[in-house]
Amino acid sequence: MKRIAFFDTKPYDKTYFDLHKENSGLEFKYFESKLNPDTVGMTAGFDGVVAFVNDDINADVIDKLYDNGIRVIAMRCAGYNNVNFKSAYKKIHIVRVPAYSPYAVAEHTMAMLLTLNRKTHKAYNRTRDFNFSLSGLVGFDLHGKTVGIIGTGKIGKIFINICRGFGLNVIAYDPYPDKTIDIEYVSLKELCSHSDIISLHCPLSESTRHIINEETLGLMKEGVYIINTSRGALIDSEALLEAIKSEKVGGAALDVYEEETDLFFEDFSGEIVYDDVLSRLISMPNVLVTSHQAFLTKEALENIATTTIDNLKDFFDDKPLANEVCYNCNKNGSCKKEHKERCF
Ligand code: NAD
């Protein structure tokens, strides 16, 4: 039986993977630690690895995994910016879960926007204390405002429909426009200058890193709201903090943060957190932070478990890998999957 090492595993992951364990023909070992240069040694004796968004799968980790006989990494997520694909190419196959529930992420995006705007998180705390004052809770109508969507893939498209349900005008920027949908595409500059709310739904890559920076923030309307449920490094956090302090940005809802790796998914409530930018952001009255939880629905966890297990079974059964991604897929899309419908 093939032995699989899971990293950064939480109780909710185990619940859904355990439901399908018996029929999988695989043996699971759950590690709570993240996969990184310090923990990669734990993979000795395993046949495959299951990793998540904040594991650090750099060149060094890839080499050690390879030396340990690992030939497949199953990402139990859609994004894969934390994997060094150049090092993995021709050594370790990387499979992922391309879509487990785009609804989960799009719905959380709207939940964050509504909370930030209507301040229900503050109202909840007040009324629990029998404080029924409304001062400081003024929001604005979403109806008639303009939301700019950066990235119109699976999640972006669903969020567009949700926004339209609220009567928002929607504009979008995507270098690869989807001609099948009815949406007004504009340049990034136009999106920045015309939007009351900007929501990020593109992947993190060299071309999108810090797409929200001092310059693009400077183009935006006074009081703009920024929502990021995609990847933290899409935003230059220090530039965002300055824009919040100067009141250029009226509110920010962040499910992801560029330096989240060592913090998110863990409880630091009894400790001192040394990330001054995050601490200052969290201290702002108009910033809402959730801990990379947009994906966290029952449906998504179920789909993540079943697709990850299928990906692993396909790998070990020498079958085509429909959900494989490689260096060439990422670099220029030149990968034709010509080797038994695998990347190599
Ligand atoms: P997708 O691949 O379906 O869509 C991404 C879109 O971004 C595509 O239309 C693509 O053309 C566009 N894009 C590429 N480069 C761009 C650029 N420079 N500027 C603007 N758009 C660009 O992906 P998806 O399933 O919609 O997911 C989007 C992102 O959401 C993922 O990359 C991931 O980082 C993030 N995500 C977050 C969570 C969470 O829990 N917070 C969960 C799942 C996914």
d(CA 181, CA 175): 15
Label residue 331 by pLDDT band (50, 70, 90). confident
Closest to 6 in 3D by CA, of 35, 26, 36, 37: 35
Ligand 1: distance of its center to the CA of 228 in Å?
Answer: 11
- Residue 170: half-sphere exposure toward Cβ, Cα within 13 Å: 21
d(CA 344, CA 342): 5
| Per-residue DSSP letter, 34 | P
Ligand 1: distance of its center to the CA of 310 in Å?
Answer: 23
Label residue 334 by pLDDT band (50, 70, 90). confident
Closest to 122 in 3D by CA, of 113, 134, 112: 134
Q: Residue 285 class from Cβ within 10 Å (0-12 exposed, 13-18 middle, 19+ buried)?
A: exposed
Q: What is the pLDDT of residues 34-84, one digit of tens each?
A: 999 999 999 999 999 999 999 999 999 999 999 999 999 999 999 899 999
d(CA 104, CA 118): 21
**Protein residue whose Cα sits closest to atom 4 of ligand 1:** 153
Ligand 1: distance of its center to the CA of 21 in Å?
Answer: 30
Q: Whole-model pTM?
A: 0.92
d(CA 294, CA 229): 7
**Protein residue whose Cα sits closest to atom 8 of ligand 1:** 153
d(CA 98, CA 324): 9
In a mutational test of the pocket of ligand 1, which residue from 75, 105, 202 has the highest number of ligand atoms less than 8 Å from its CB?
Answer: 202
d(CA 278, CA 237): 8
**Residue 77 CA: which ligand 1 atom is closest?**
43
**Protein residue whose Cα sits closest to atom 32 of ligand 1:** 203
Ligand 1: distance of its center to the CA of 203 in Å?
Answer: 4
Q: Which two tokens stand for residue 41?
A: 């040694």
Sheet order of strands, 184-185 included: 184-185, 169-173, 146-150, 197-200, 224-228, 249-254, 287-289
**Residue 157 CA: which ligand 1 atom is closest?**
26
Active site residues: 231, 260, 292
Q: What is the pLDDT of residues 233-278, one digit of tens each?
A: 999 999 999 999 999 999 999 999 999 999 999 999 999 999 999 9
| Per-residue DSSP letter, 40 | G
Q: What is the pLDDT of residues 199-219, one digit of tens each?
A: 999 999 999 999 999 999 999
Q: What is the pLDDT of residues 149-190, one digit of tens each?
A: 999 999 999 999 999 999 999 999 999 999 999 999 999 999
Partner residues linked to 6 by β-bridges: 30, 50
In a mutational test of the pocket of ligand 1, which residue from 12, 103, 112, 174 has the highest number of ligand atoms less than 8 Å from its CB?
Answer: 174
**Residue 156 CA: which ligand 1 atom is closest?**
26
**Protein residue whose Cα sits closest to atom 3 of ligand 1:** 153
